[in-house]
Amino acid sequence: VHRRLEELQMRAPGHNQGPRLLAFGADASGEVPLPLQADPPRTGGGLRVLPFVLTGSDGTLLAETRDALEEVLLANGMAQADTALLAQDAFGAQVEHARYFTVNDLAAMMAMQYDNQGLAGLWPLLETAMFSPQREQWLDAAPEPLLRYTGSEVRMALFDPAGWCAHYAHDRNDCDRLQRVYEQYLMRQRQMAAVLEAHGLDVLYVHVEAGQDAREVMAH
């Protein structure tokens, strides 16, 4: 989204007219250009973001400004009441708190939200996909599903009951209890897959046979 805003800014007229404020929204027919359109299935979320880009030709000044914003915005970035009311009226949304964030601040806020929802282990994969997509990232923390992010997709280990029991070193003597735990594990897999797919990540299920090393299978 921020790259798209920068592209639009570069194409806008008036490059040599000094400092300027540009806002991009709907065109004459009411259409908002991609990828600035909100995804309809995500309508109504509690955390809403209005992206902005601060840019310029002086690299040194930009770096100093970036560092200053990283230092002060998280603690002192609360928007004024009139700004919050203006946003509320303009977007038809109930605004409880309006803050200015850097991208890093926003990532920290998202990490906290995922932690609050019991999905803290999933955030490092999402953060890697967004900020360092060329890197590899694992979620390998029992009893969570085994996940590996690589090549712009997430591989999820798919165990049958025997393979799951062996991988997570469960006591096989308590079959009734383990069956319930296994069903909860499958629900957790579906939950994580839904979150990953909501972020535009493909999920590839990798079947792991009993007796196989799941990490080795996932690594290929």
Q: What is the full per-residue pLDDT of the chain (220 aa) written as tens digits? A: 778 888 888 888 887 778 888 888 777 777 877 777 777 776 777 778 888 888 888 889 989 999 999 998 878 889 899 999 998 898 888 888 899 999 888 888 889 989 999 999 999 999 999 999 999 999 999 999 999 999 889 999 999 988 888 888 877 677 667 888 899 999 999 999 999 998 889 999 999 988 899 999 998 8
Contact indicator for 169, 129 with CB cutoff of 8 Å: no
Q: Which residues contact 56 (CB under 8 A, 6 or more apart)?
A: 62
Separation CA 20–CA 177 (nearest Å): 64
Measured CA to CA, the distance from residue 149 to residue 136 in angstroms comes to: 6
- What does pTM read for this prediction? 0.76
At 142, list the tokens: 């029992």
The residue extents of the domains of the chain are 2-110, 134-218
Residues in the chain: 220
Instruction: Report the pLDDT value the prediction gives residue 33, as an integer from 0 to 100.
Output: 73
Q: Where are the alpha helices (DSSP H) in 78-174?
A: 81-91, 103-116, 123-131, 161-167
Cβ atoms 127, 175 nearer than 8 A: no
Q: What is the pLDDT of residue 215?
A: 92
Cβ-contact 214, 193 below 8 angstroms: no
